[in-house]
Amino acid sequence: PMRTLSARILLGFAALTITFGVITAQLVVNMQQVENHVLLIGQGYVPLALESKDLARRQDDLRTFVEERLRDEPSSHVKRTLHALRSKRDKAVETIGLILDGLESKAVVKPRQFIYTRPEIEQIKRGLATVEPLYLQALANPSASVPSEAASAALIQLKNEERKLWQQINRFSDSLEGRLQKSTEYLEKNGIPGIQDIDTR
Q: Read off the pLDDT of residues 20-29 as tens digits, 9 standing for 90 and up.
A: 665 555 544 4
Q: Read off the pLDDT of residues 153-180 as tens digits, 9 standing for 90 and up.
A: 899 999 999 999 999 999 999 988 888 8
Q: What do you get for the CA distance between the two ends of the chain, in Å?
A: 64
Question: Would the pTM count as exceeding 0.75?
Answer: no
pLDDT at 201: 47
Distance, CA of 21 to CA of 27 (rounded, Å): 10
pLDDT tier at 116, thresholds 50, 70, 90: confident
Phi, psi dihedrals of residue 78, rounded to the nearest 5°? -65, -40
